[in-house]
Chains A and B, each alone.
Chain A
Amino acid sequence: MRTPDRSIPLLTRRQALVLAGAAAMFGSSVARAAETLGFNELYSKFGVLGLEFSDKVKQLTGRQVAIRGFMAPPLKAEAAFFVLTEIPMSICPFCSTDADWPDNIVVVYLGEKQTFVQPSAPIEVRGTLEMGSWTDPETGFLSLLRLRQASYATV
């Protein structure tokens, strides 16, 4: 059993560490205003005949945004991108012939190389939001929503 009097200072300390880490990671970009975008805000409509991007996504396209999620295991270690998912991936779609990605993924192209983190650790990614169909030339991986020139930090 956790006691409340212990957990409060712990949380505060962790938050402080996260803030410090984020500032170091994001460098100059932290000064720029980044609108936060949640996974639950990506689509305005889910339907069998397709999903519809929300007005917020449409408005933020081309702008600097921050999205929190989980890093899926990379396709290959040196891949130019990784996939950001709402929940930690319990299956590896790249590993198995029958596994599939969830429909609400965001593909992240990093501005500079960063080391991959534990896929079960929540991260915040900042980058320029890009919307529309794009096939990664190297892997053939198709995406509809991307963050370009991105960087991330664990939260």
Chain B
Amino acid sequence: MRNLFATLIATTFLAGAAQATTIYPLDRATVLTGSPFDFKVEFNSVVKPEDVKVTVNGEDYKAVFGSEPEFVAEEKGKEDKVLGSALVLRGLTIANAGAYKIEVSAGSETKSVTWDVYGTSETPKAKNIIFLIGDGLSVAHRTAARIMSKGMTEGKANGRLNMDEMDRMAFVGTSATDAVATDSANTMSAYMTGHKTAVNALGVYADRTPDSLDDPKVETFAEALRRQTKKSIGIVSPAEVEDATPAAVVSHTRKRGDKAEIVGMLLDVKPDVLLGGGSAYFLGKDTPGSKRKDDKDYIKLFQDAGYTLATDKAELEKAAGTNTGKILGLFHTGNMDSTLDREFLKKGTVEKFPNQPGLVDMTKAALGELSKNPEGFFLMVEAANIDKMSHPLDWDRAVVDTIEFDQAIGVAREFAAKNPDTLIVVTGDHTHGVSIIGTVDDEKEGTEMREKVGTYASAGFPNYTDENGDGYPDKIDVTRRLFLSANNGPDHYETFRPKLDGPFVPAVQNENKEYVANEAYKDVPGAVFVQGNIPKEGDSGVHAVDDIVLQSTGPGSEGFKGYMEQSDVYRVLADTFALGVKQTQ
């Protein structure tokens, strides 16, 4: 018995030791010529530096890479556990396009990867790029927004969304390097760096050490623009500006939760226009409402760097009219409210922050400022609340935010009509597990709400109206409404109705840290209990692994077609701006 146990331990140990050595960037990485990145080799054991051999296309790597790496004899994990030796070479660049095969050996460990280093066109195809991203934007959101906003008669849409007018499209795979599933950090990071990474990571490959700020970096799109061009950069999002999607334009961290550090990274890159929520991470720790753990006053640091500050809709309008060149607009301590709450129901936190601008206002202000630069600009606009309302299964709010997103796309289209040297990209970062299956009709016979769900022919058409022509339904709680249904979630009560008192909170945690159905909805007439199908530690609906649909129009958009990995999208953006070529003196 003891022998068997010993054998088991030995086997397990050997299996662990047999894990492959890891090289970052990973195999099949795509790298822009001249774009700095960190090269790292993680050995599974402690090796001698003299035993380490690294070649690039058969030649010694020091000659090819042109600099000396740092050898780390012992990398430490949690509780000082020795993980093995490592080689680190930071800020490496490769000037010439081509395939680069990296072969590493040390003692019994060997590993090889091949990178595809690519260049770009010699001249830019477009002067401006407007990159509009609906966080979590799934096909159901688009379809529901079209039907809710434009209506449908005899099976044909009564109108088209702005996103329906894009010329070219691609299906985009969103999986992470460590999982088939994905989050908004690694997905936006892939768009903004051209490298896929792990869930929760931004602008880095996820290495094995616990420090979240030492992982091998790759260049962000904003950094590439600063390096090669004099273009302006704009970031717009109703989320906290230090939240994953806006952060990915500039940041490097293994953990998207490093929000205090991300604010510092935003200041390092200095996007010319930065609009959104999240002021709590800009305030020193002694200011009530602050979420920092230090005394740094980033409001002042941004102002000292030449930014005009706006804290509500009126101040944003005023700032947009001034000529300072840089605008910091922070309109909420946390995430800004959803469109349905902000513009119509006045619920959520609207009472505390009554004058928040919407995505359309922010997009207009950003375009007005950025377009003053004769060298052009890159503007990222995120409709964050599509995702933030899809997580709690609040489909009505998610769809109304999709309508607002579409109106922001309309602003971009108007700009591009006058400035045809503009590429517009409309996409999501990942999908949600949601579909429209028909309608809920209060007029249908029956006492149970599920009797009132219309499927197939009995679904009929919803009866939303838009009398004032603002593109939004006059009311969300019509008698025959779209029925959107999640394919996953925690235990919750399905009420079959819009949540007019504030965003849906499907589940709350119990003393065992398990999420249980929120009893607040139990007594809503007709509510039914829905058994969750994800682990009980999950508080809300999760992201789906389904492809997302990317649409694009304007010069450069011909690069989008067929199936693409999310990291391939970067290559099209880089090519559109010819980022392989220095455009500054």
Whether A144 contacts B510 by the Cβ 8 Å rule is no
B186 part of interface (Cβ distance < 8 Å): no
B574 part of interface (Cβ distance < 8 Å): no
Q: How far is the CA of A97 from the CA of B256 in the complex (A)?
A: 7
Q: How far is the CA of A53 from the CA of B331 in the complex (A)?
A: 20
Instruction: Map CB proximity to A onto B524-537 as digits: 1 under 8 Å, 0 otherwise.
Output: 00000000000001
Interface stretch of the complex, out of B15-23, B100-108, B284-292 = B284-292
Checking A47, A97, A116 against B200 with a beta-carbon cut-off of 8 angstroms, the contacting residue is A97
Whether B255 contacts A50 by the Cβ 8 Å rule is no
Residues of chain B having any CB pair with chain A under 8 Å: 183, 185, 200, 243-244, 255-257, 259, 279-280, 283, 285-291, 293, 299, 311-312, 330-334, 352-353, 392, 505-511, 513, 516, 518-519, 537, 539-540
Which residues 81-98 in A have Cβ within 8 Å of B in the complex? Answer: 87-92, 95-98
The DSSP consensus for interface residues of chain B is: loop
Checking A97, A102, A118, A119 against B257 with a beta-carbon cut-off of 8 angstroms, the contacting residue is A97
Smallest CB-CB separation from B329: which chain A residue? A48
Give every chain A residue within 8 A of B279 (Cβ-Cβ): 48-49
A-B contact pairs, 18 of them (CB 8 A): A43-B288, A46-B352, A46-B353, A48-B279, A48-B332, A48-B333, A51-B289, A52-B288, A73-B509, A90-B505, A90-B518, A91-B539, A98-B243, A103-B333, A120-B518, A132-B286, A133-B285, A133-B286
Whether B508 contacts A50 by the Cβ 8 Å rule is no
Give every chain B residue within 8 A of A50 (Cβ-Cβ): 283, 287-290
A47-B311, A48-B331, A48-B353 known; A117-B285 Cβ under 8 A: no
Give every chain B residue within 8 A of A7 (Cβ-Cβ): none
A97-B257, A98-B257, A103-B289 known; A49-B311 Cβ under 8 A: yes
Please give the distance in Å from B81's CB to the nearest CB on chain A: 22
Give every chain B residue within 8 A of A46 (Cβ-Cβ): 289, 333, 352-353
Give every chain A residue within 8 A of B312 (Cβ-Cβ): 48
Q: How far is the CA of A98 from the CA of B330 in the complex (A)?
A: 19
Give every chain A residue within 8 A of B519 (Cβ-Cβ): 120
Please give the distance in Å from A145's CB to the nearest CB on chain B: 8
Q: How far is the CA of A148 from the CA of B290 in the complex (A)?
A: 21
Give every chain B residue within 8 A of A52 (Cβ-Cβ): 288
Instruction: Map CB proximity to B onto A16-51 as digits: 1 under 8 Å, 0 otherwise.
Output: 000000000000000000000000000100111111
Give every chain B residue within 8 A of A90 (Cβ-Cβ): 392, 505-509, 518, 539-540
Whether B290 contacts A98 by the Cβ 8 Å rule is no
Whether B293 contacts A135 by the Cβ 8 Å rule is yes
The DSSP consensus for interface residues of chain A is: loop
Whether B539 contacts A92 by the Cβ 8 Å rule is yes
Please give the distance in Å from B383's CB to the nearest CB on chain A: 17
Give every chain B residue within 8 A of A10 (Cβ-Cβ): none
Please give the distance in Å from A136's CB to the nearest CB on chain B: 11
Q: How far is the CA of A126 from the CA of B510 in the complex (A)?
A: 22
Give every chain B residue within 8 A of A53 (Cβ-Cβ): 288
A4 part of interface (Cβ distance < 8 Å): no
Give every chain A residue within 8 A of B200 (Cβ-Cβ): 97-98
Smallest CB-CB separation from B392: which chain A residue? A90
A48-B353, A49-B279, A98-B256 known; A89-B537 Cβ under 8 A: no
Checking B244, B334, B506, B509 against A92 with a beta-carbon cut-off of 8 angstroms, the contacting residue is B509
Give every chain B residue within 8 A of A91 (Cβ-Cβ): 539-540
Q: How far is the CA of A117 from the CA of B510 in the complex (A)?
A: 8
Checking A43, A92, A117, A140 against B513 with a beta-carbon cut-off of 8 angstroms, the contacting residue is A92
Give every chain A residue within 8 A of B506 (Cβ-Cβ): 90
Q: How far is the CA of A80 from the CA of B508 in the complex (A)?
A: 23
Q: How far is the CA of A154 from the CA of B255 in the complex (A)?
A: 37
Q: How far is the CA of A83 from the CA of B581 in the complex (A)?
A: 53
Please give the distance in Å from A143's CB to the nearest CB on chain B: 10
Checking A48, A51, A119, A135 against B509 with a beta-carbon cut-off of 8 angstroms, the contacting residue is A119
Give every chain B residue within 8 A of A118 (Cβ-Cβ): 510-511
Q: How far is the CA of A58 from the CA of B334 in the complex (A)?
A: 25
Please give the distance in Å from B273's CB to the nearest CB on chain A: 17
A100 part of interface (Cβ distance < 8 Å): yes
Whether B537 contacts A48 by the Cβ 8 Å rule is no
Checking A89, A95, A100 against B291 with a beta-carbon cut-off of 8 angstroms, the contacting residue is A100
Which residues 5-19 in A have Cβ within 8 Å of B in the complex? Answer: none
**Top-5 shortest CB links A-B:** A97-B257, A46-B352, A51-B289, A48-B311, A50-B287
Give every chain B residue within 8 A of A95 (Cβ-Cβ): 513, 537
Please give the distance in Å from B312's CB to the nearest CB on chain A: 8
Whether B508 contacts A89 by the Cβ 8 Å rule is yes
Give every chain A residue within 8 A of B287 (Cβ-Cβ): 49-50
Smallest CB-CB separation from B310: which chain A residue? A48
Please give the distance in Å from A46's CB to the nearest CB on chain B: 4
Checking A88, A96, A116, A144 against B288 with a beta-carbon cut-off of 8 angstroms, the contacting residue is A144
Please give the distance in Å from B505's CB to the nearest CB on chain A: 4
Give every chain B residue within 8 A of A97 (Cβ-Cβ): 200, 255-257
Checking A117, A119, A144 against B508 with a beta-carbon cut-off of 8 angstroms, the contacting residue is A119
Q: How far is the CA of A116 from the CA of B510 in the complex (A)?
A: 10
Please give the distance in Å from A57's CB to the nearest CB on chain B: 10
Give every chain A residue within 8 A of B540 (Cβ-Cβ): 90-91
Whether A49 contacts B283 by the Cβ 8 Å rule is yes
Give every chain A residue within 8 A of B505 (Cβ-Cβ): 87-88, 90
Smallest CB-CB separation from B335: which chain A residue? A100
Give every chain B residue within 8 A of A117 (Cβ-Cβ): 511
Please give the distance in Å from B292's CB to the nearest CB on chain A: 8
